[in-house]
Amino acid sequence: MRVFRLIIQISLCVVAAISPLESVAGIAPSAKEQDPVLQERLQLFLRLESMHGIPWNYLAAIDQYERTMKIRRKKQEQENVSRLTAVDIPSDRWAGAFNPEAEDTNPVSIQFFDGIGMDGDGDGLADRHNDLDALTTFIRYLSQYGFSHEDWQIGLWSYYQRDRSVKTIRQFAQVYAKYQHLHLDERHFPILARYEYSYRSTWGAPRGWGGRRIHEGTDIFASHGTPVLSTAYGVIEVIGWNRFGGWRIGMRDMGNVYHYFAHLSSFKKGLKPGDIVEPGEVIGYIGSSGYGKPGTSGKFPPHLHYGMYRETGGADWSFDPYPYLRRWERQKKRQ
């Protein structure tokens, strides 16, 4: 067991160094929640924090990660419509791999077949579709590795078997810790309304520099030096040079979507990986960098290349940002 823990600790050291998670135990969350569902969800996390000692923002981060990774069918959404949380432990793990009853709710037989499912609300049933049962089970699973943040990281790696999952959950927890509420789905158009700009749908268009490929984003043309804004709450993951995108920034939002801002002339002073940003915050400035070695510029008119990528469990896949940009632009004009 000690050897196993050491191996996982080594694999997570980079994650821990880049995005340290601060404990927020004892800090009262903000009262900014307006959505009654979010209010109820937050109260559930606070209740579990008082019972088990894991900070509410950590529980919220796990729940949010699970929510972003789900690809549900309509039937599944209807079945789980009454649930507050998205933590969904697979039936074979919950009931036991050799349990003939995949949806077993009997704690005794679940334990017999080495399942991890537990009764969290005291009704005598261990129901994986019950919020308290599911969250209590997940908490107990993490707690078997210890009660420090490092121990919980080890537990998360053991559960998900992916460094990316551990890092994303840590990032989510950091953002929740900073803002002290769950309502973090606000979006913002990347250019302020007072600046002149133009754009059209260019996702999927052919590109030739560096080999045949498709254009994985939308180009927003504006004057050199125009401020570029963060489009969402999130954490800066990458900042620096890319031979295609030039000076670029990569940010992951609270929906587990990676936002790519490329061809910049410069970055906001002091911006670095691990920084938390919010919608409308200046993060850089439009330029024409890219298509060559570091410092290459001027091979095309100044513009922002804006891309969006969704994690699917194995990789980040590009999708068309144009409809989202149009929506955010309309919202901006109504304000």
The reply to whether 100 falls in a domain is no
Of 82 and 89, the one with more pLDDT: 89
pTM as predicted:
0.86
The reply to whether 114 falls in a domain is no
Q: Return phi, psi of residue 101, to 5°.
A: -105, 95
Per-residue pLDDT of 296-308, as tens digits, reads 999 999 999 999 9
Same domain, 155 and 286: no
Same domain, 30 and 84: yes
Same domain, 61 and 150: yes
Same domain, 242 and 138: no
Residue 71 has pLDDT above 80, yes or no: no
The reply to whether 41 falls in a domain is yes
Burial 91-125 (b: 16+ CB within 10 A, else e): bebbbbeebeeeebbbbebbeebebbbbbbeeeee
Print the domain residue range for 145: 2-89+128-179
The reply to whether 108 falls in a domain is no
The reply to whether 119 falls in a domain is no
Identify the residue whose tokens are 């210890």: 146
Same domain, 29 and 74: yes
The span from the CA of 332 to the CA of 61, in Å, is: 28
202: tokens are 């260019």
The reply to whether 171 falls in a domain is yes
Same domain, 167 and 220: no
Identify the residue whose tokens are 């999927």: 204
CB 232 within 8 A of CB 187: yes
Number of folded domains in the chain? Answer: 2
Per-residue pLDDT of 14-41, as tens digits, reads 344 434 444 444 445 555 557 899 999 9
**Residue 317, domain CATH:** 2.70.70.10
Per cent of the chain over pLDDT 70 is: 83
Residue 75 has pLDDT above 50, yes or no: no
**Predicted local confidence at residue 13, as pLDDT:** 41
Same domain, 45 and 73: yes
The reply to whether 102 falls in a domain is no
Same domain, 160 and 244: no
The reply to whether 94 falls in a domain is no
Same domain, 152 and 211: no
**Predicted local confidence at residue 3, as pLDDT:** 42
Per-residue pLDDT of 307-328, as tens digits, reads 999 987 777 888 999 999 999 9
Same domain, 254 and 144: no
Same domain, 166 and 308: no
Same domain, 132 and 63: yes
DSSP per-residue letters across 28-60: PPPS---SHHHHHHHHHHHHHHHHH---HHHHH
